[in-house]
Amino acid sequence: MKIAVCVKEIYNLEQVKIVRETREPILDVPKKLDDLSRNALEEAIKIREKLGGEIVAISAGSPELRKTIKEALAMGADRAAIVTDFTESSPESAALVLSRILEKDSYDLILLGDASSDDYSGQMASRVAETLNLPQITFVSEIREVSDGKITCVRDMDDYIEVVESDLPCVVSVTNEINEPRIPALKDILKASKKPVENFSLQDLGIEISRSYEIVENLAPAVDRKQEVIEGEAAEVAGKIAEIIGREV
Amino acid sequence: MSVIDFPKNTVLTFSEEEELFRESVREFCQRHIAPNWVEVDKRSEQNPMDIPVDIIKKMADQGLFCIPCSEEYGGQGGSYTMATIAMEEIAYADPSVALAVYALLNTGWPFALELFGTEEACQEIIPEVAAGRAFFGIASTEPQGGSDVAGLKTRAEKKGDVYILNGEKTFISGVGEVQKLEWGGGWFTLARTGGEGHKGLSAFALLARKNGELSDGWDPTIYEDIGRHGLTTGGFRLTDFEVDSKYLIGEENKGFYHVMEGFNLARIVVAAATIGASRWLLEQAVEWFRTRKLFGRNISSFQGVSFKFADMYARWEASRYFVYRASRLADKIYIEKDPSYKPLDLNVPVALAKNYGPETCVDLAEEVMKWYGAYAYTKEAPIFRAWLGPFSYVIGAEGAQNIMRLIIARDIIGRDYLK
């Protein structure tokens, strides 16, 4: 079983601060592997534990990706194939770059997170599947079975669930409910540096990035606080708070 | 999200692997330790034998014990700096430092065993400790005192292939854990095989329990500590306790030197635990400063508060430099085996770290409690747990503070000028 897991580097959102006056984010923070990418990778590792095979982490990003990809290798990917001169962040171009890397090898299964925690566009699985002309199963909360060239998945559609079977190869995107990703131990981290990483440039892949849209603004949402002050005796104030909670929640 | 934006640092820097390891330990701790540390401390306060075996097992599965030990013994094959990073992060998540002390004892002393012990003893003990099935710490203190190691009285008489030990050890960490963990465990200990003074001492791996079986002649007591409850403290009497000669650590009558090297290694990670707890305390303080108002002003607008905080912050940064300077030096000596560095080179750097880290932590905890006011004096606020736990290292666990000062003064001024 040869599994490709498309992973994404994102800014460590917990460390991103917002300039109060302008609402602009300060992005001078380290990057990390996206949480949903880790869910996808965890699922690949579970399949490999059952069926054997190889996991290849695929990613496109900034030069910092050479460092970030080690998280995927430490978690359990056997090797990586990456592009590190990709700074354009549109889903359209990202899907093209990932697909070109994927085309360089053949895979039984391509796993991704359903969306990424930063822009959450949720387009990657469908775009990659369409580019590679493969079947796709999205919103997967459980991979029930992988055998005899087929995969059976449970799709979480909020109000109902679907059980879907597809031939392999197939593109599958997972939700964060599917598992709890493992945390790499020291031994895994030390081994990660010795695993092979194939580094392509956009030129190697024959891709020229063109912008199809422009980001006009990237600001934190403005939240106006009600700043309601409740005054009075404790019992009276408690009653009013209970009333507001009952009304608002 | 980190409460404090720590200044960028180009002196105290870490490799990509070290940073990734810190992140992984931090994530593990946020998932399994930070939400439970207060409960662990409370439960074990009620019953010291209520040992957090489940968390110990999870920590073992994550590879948080025996960090610098060789992989052939089930260790993690990491550096001493990696161990230091782990202890700082564990104590940040459990500032009572109980779980960090469990991890650091079961890192420093198995590593000392690997440096000086027999192949057979290492093969038998270290894999069990790494897997969280056994405890392996240090037992040197006796009822007459802990600092006067050279004066200890427990005797070991050699009879054929065994040593017969008689004596008593007190204020020993792990007396409960060796009874409760699946395999058992014991300690790096010292007993007198020769004449008076430090040249008559030999080191042994003393296993109070192994393969789930208690050893004959080992009579334990559990003490009730005032803090750091998640790790037991106790004592034991040895009556004709048999130790196979394969458990002799290093050469006979050279045990004092081996244990002193072990102490240097353990003190680095003790200091690391206290800087982790201090980071938690600093964040508690800053969160409080950003919300607490007094006389219509932020409490930190009073310079009596903010200047004291600045002083404590400076001491914390200095402690961190001391700790990582010592751990990098330990890597040169024991991991990289660089011949330009010798074990004695660690004496002053380690004494500085062990002296400064715990004192900073305890002083900081007291200040944070005062800044919080009466709330900190209630058991609802957990700050006192981060005061009483690290306090054990100011009292003298792993070496009294004045012994650290003595080492610094002796090595800097010169031994002859202190007489």
Lookup: tokens for B48: 């010291």
Burial classification of residue B390, based on how many CB atoms lie within 10 Å of its CB (0-12 exposed, 13-18 middle, 19 or more buried):
buried
Q: How many CA atoms lie within 13 A of A140 on its CB side?
A: 28
Give the type of residue at B43: R
- Whether residue B88 lies inside any domain: the answer is yes
- CATH number, domain of B86, equals 1.10.540.10
CA nearest to B89, candidates B331, B271, B275, B365: B275
Co-location of B104 and B130 in the same domain? yes
Lookup: tokens for B144: 């007459």
Percentage of chain A beyond pLDDT 70 is 100
When CB atoms are compared, the residue of A17, A70, A187 closest to B20 is: A70
**What residue ranges do the domains of chain A occupy?**
2-217
Mutate to test the interface with B, among A17, A26, A69, A183 (most CBs of B within 10 A): A183
Closest residue in chain A to residue B21, using alpha carbons only: A186
Cα distances from B388 to residues B171, B224, B366, B385, B392, in angstroms, run: 16, 13, 10, 5, 7
Q: In whole angstroms, what is the distance from residue B400 CA to residue B378 CA? A: 30
A185 and B24 within 8 Å at the Cβ level: the answer is: yes
Co-location of B174 and B42 in the same domain? no
- Whether residue B398 lies inside any domain: the answer is yes
Co-location of B93 and B144 in the same domain? no
Q: In whole angstroms, what is the distance from residue B410 CA to residue B226 CA? A: 33
According to the model, what pLDDT value does residue B86 have? 98
Q: Which of B249, B276, B305 is at the close of a domain?
A: B249
pLDDT per position as a tens digit, A151-163:
999 999 989 999 9
- Whether residue B8 lies inside any domain: the answer is no
* Number of DSSP helices (H) and strands (E) in chain B, helices first: 12, 11
pLDDT per position as a tens digit, B179-191:
999 999 999 999 9
Which has the higher per-residue pLDDT, B157 or A247? B157
Q: Which residues of B touch A71 (CB under 8 A)?
A: 20
Co-location of B123 and B186 in the same domain? no
According to the model, what pLDDT value does residue B163 have? 98
Co-location of B175 and B266 in the same domain? no
On the question of pLDDT at A15 being above 90, the answer is no
When CB atoms are compared, the residue of A14, A70, A71 closest to B1 is: A14
* Number of DSSP helices (H) and strands (E) in chain A, helices first: 6, 13
- Hey, is the C-beta of B76 within 8 angstroms of any chain A C-beta? yes
According to the model, what pLDDT value does residue A26 have? 85
B28 and A186 within 8 Å at the Cβ level: the answer is: no
pLDDT band for position B1 (cuts 50, 70, 90): low
Q: If you average pLDDT over residues B150-178, what whole number do you get? A: 96
CA nearest to B252, candidates B112, B167, B157: B157
Distance from CA of A21 to the nearest CA of B (A): 19
Q: If you average pLDDT over residues A72-88, what whole number do you get? A: 94
When CB atoms are compared, the residue of A15, A187, A193 closest to B63 is: A187
CA nearest to B269, candidates B392, B100, B33, B48: B100
Co-location of B273 and B191 in the same domain? no
- Whether residue B87 lies inside any domain: the answer is yes
Lookup: tokens for A42: 């965890």
Cα distances from B17 to residues B14, B21, B63, B79, B144, in angstroms, run: 8, 6, 15, 11, 45
- Hey, is the C-beta of A29 within 8 angstroms of any chain B C-beta? no
On the question of pLDDT at A206 being above 80, the answer is yes
On the question of pLDDT at B368 being above 70, the answer is yes
Which has the higher per-residue pLDDT, B177 or A249? B177
B residues 3-22 closer than 8 Å to A (CB): 5, 16-17, 20-21
Rounded to a whole number of angstroms, the CA Rg of chain A reads 22
Q: B94 and B86 in contact (C-beta within 8 Å)? A: no
pLDDT per position as a tens digit, A110-128:
999 999 988 888 999 999 9
- Whether residue B7 lies inside any domain: the answer is no
Q: If you average pLDDT over residues B334-351, what whole number do you get? A: 97
B71 and A187 within 8 Å at the Cβ level: the answer is: yes
Q: Which residues pair with A137 in a beta bridge?
A: A172
Co-location of B196 and B227 in the same domain? yes
Contacts of B270 (CB under 8 A, 6+ apart): B101, B104, B354, B357, B358, B393, B397, B398
According to the model, what pLDDT value does residue B311 have? 98
Domain extent for B286: 255-418
Co-location of B226 and B353 in the same domain? no
Which has the higher per-residue pLDDT, B157 or A19? B157
According to the model, what pLDDT value does residue A227 have? 77
- Measured in Å, how far apart are chain B's first and last C-alpha atoms? 53
Q: In whole angstroms, what is the distance from residue A73 CA to residue A191 CA? A: 8
Q: If you average pLDDT over residues A57-84, what whole number do you get? A: 96
Q: In whole angstroms, what is the distance from residue A191 CA to residue B37 CA? A: 31
Co-location of B108 and B29 in the same domain? yes
Q: If you average pLDDT over residues B4-11, what whole number do you get? A: 88
Q: How many CA atoms lie within 13 A of B302 on its CB side?
A: 12
Q: B272 and B323 in contact (C-beta within 8 Å)? A: yes
A189 and B76 within 8 Å at the Cβ level: the answer is: no
Lookup: tokens for B160: 């054929």
According to the model, what pLDDT value does residue B5 have? 82
CA nearest to A160, candidates A179, A141, A174, A173: A141
Co-location of B266 and B411 in the same domain? yes
Q: In whole angstroms, what is the distance from residue B62 CA to residue A108 CA? A: 31
Tally of domains within chain B: 3
Burial classification of residue A68, based on how many CB atoms lie within 10 Å of its CB (0-12 exposed, 13-18 middle, 19 or more buried):
buried
- What's the mean pLDDT when you consider all of chain B? 96
Q: A33 and A22 in contact (C-beta within 8 Å)? A: no
Co-location of B276 and B130 in the same domain? no
CA nearest to B395, candidates B403, B384, B406: B403
ipTM over 0.95: no
* Residue in this structure with the two tokens 């003893």, named with its chain if needed: B121
- Whether residue B286 lies inside any domain: the answer is yes
- Whether residue B49 lies inside any domain: the answer is yes
Which has the higher per-residue pLDDT, B192 or A13? B192
Q: If you average pLDDT over residues A28-47, what whole number do you get? A: 94
* Residue in this structure with the two tokens 């601060």, named with its chain if needed: A17
- Whether residue B267 lies inside any domain: the answer is yes
DSSP helix/strand/coil, B381: coil
CA nearest to A8, candidates A57, A63, A46, A47: A57
CA nearest to B351, candidates B270, B417, B264: B264
Co-location of B217 and B297 in the same domain? no
Q: If you average pLDDT over residues A157-177, what whole number do you get? A: 95
Number of neighbours of residue B298 by Cβ within 10 angstroms:
14
CATH level 3 topology of A2-217: Rossmann fold (3.40.50)
Q: In whole angstroms, what is the distance from residue A158 CA to residue B327 CA? A: 51
Return phi, psi of residue A157, to 5°: -105, 25
Burial classification of residue B415, based on how many CB atoms lie within 10 Å of its CB (0-12 exposed, 13-18 middle, 19 or more buried):
exposed
Q: A109-113 and A2-6: which strand pairing?
A: parallel
Of A25-34, B334-343, B385-394, give the lowest mean pLDDT range: A25-34
According to the model, what pLDDT value does residue B93 have? 98
Q: How far is CA A133 from the centre of its chain?
A: 21
On the question of pLDDT at B164 being above 90, the answer is yes
Q: If you average pLDDT over residues B237-266, what whole number do you get? A: 96
- Hey, is the C-beta of A181 within 8 angstroms of any chain B C-beta? no
pLDDT per position as a tens digit, B107-138:
999 999 999 999 999 999 999 999 999 999 99
Lookup: tokens for B116: 């000086």
Q: If you average pLDDT over residues B11-38, what whole number do you get? A: 96
Of A17-31, A133-147, B62-76, B361-375, give the lowest mean pLDDT range: A17-31
When CB atoms are compared, the residue of B17, B28, B71 closest to A189 is: B17
Q: If you average pLDDT over residues B383-409, what whole number do you get? A: 93
According to the model, what pLDDT value does residue B2 have? 76
